[in-house]
Amino acid sequence: MSKSKLETLFSNQVKMLKLPVPVQEYKFHSTRKWRFDFAYPEMKLAVEIEGGTWSGGRHTRGAGFENDCIKYGEALLLGWTVYRCTGGMVKSGLAIETLEKLILNEEIKDDK
């Protein structure tokens, strides 16, 4: 599966900030084919980039939105923290800033 432009931009931002490299298209569920756009399995931290938020993309239409909610609910039950961000957040740098803080918070928890 090829990466979207937003996923490529996000990957480049991770590299530029020298953050730990996430697993891309990580399958997190044993019986469903669900995948996270980016995941840190050891931290159970996932990043989902929700494209098409202003153009009526799959994530904002009824069935797609509901299916996403089911997926994210199952992820929570499995102990995952899922950070959802929009394309605009990736482009502005807000998404990578938030990820950096999430990773730092996880590292602080691990040190305790």
For residue 97, the model assigns a pLDDT of 97
Q: Give me the DSSP letters along 16-74.
A: HTTPPPPEEEEE--SSS--EEEEEETTTTEEEEEE--TTTT-GGGSHHHHHHHHHHHHH
For residue 107, the model assigns a pLDDT of 76
**28-67 confidence digits (pLDDT tens):** 999 999 999 999 999 999 999 987 654 555 556 578 789 9
- Name the token pair of 99: 């990820």
**58-101 confidence digits (pLDDT tens):** 556 578 789 999 999 999 999 999 999 999 999 999 999 999 99
- Name the token pair of 83: 């950070």
Rounded to two decimals, the pTM is 0.84
Instruction: Let me know: does 102 contact 48? Beta carbons within 8 Å.
Output: no
Distances (CA, A) of 8 to 14, 28, 43, 45, 67: 10, 21, 22, 19, 24
For residue 80, the model assigns a pLDDT of 97
- What are the domain boundaries of the chain? 21-103
**16-37 average pLDDT score:** 96
State which H helix or E strand residue 6 sits in: helix 5-16
* Longest CA span, the chain: 44
The fold for domain 21-103 equals Endonuclease; Chain A (3.40.960)
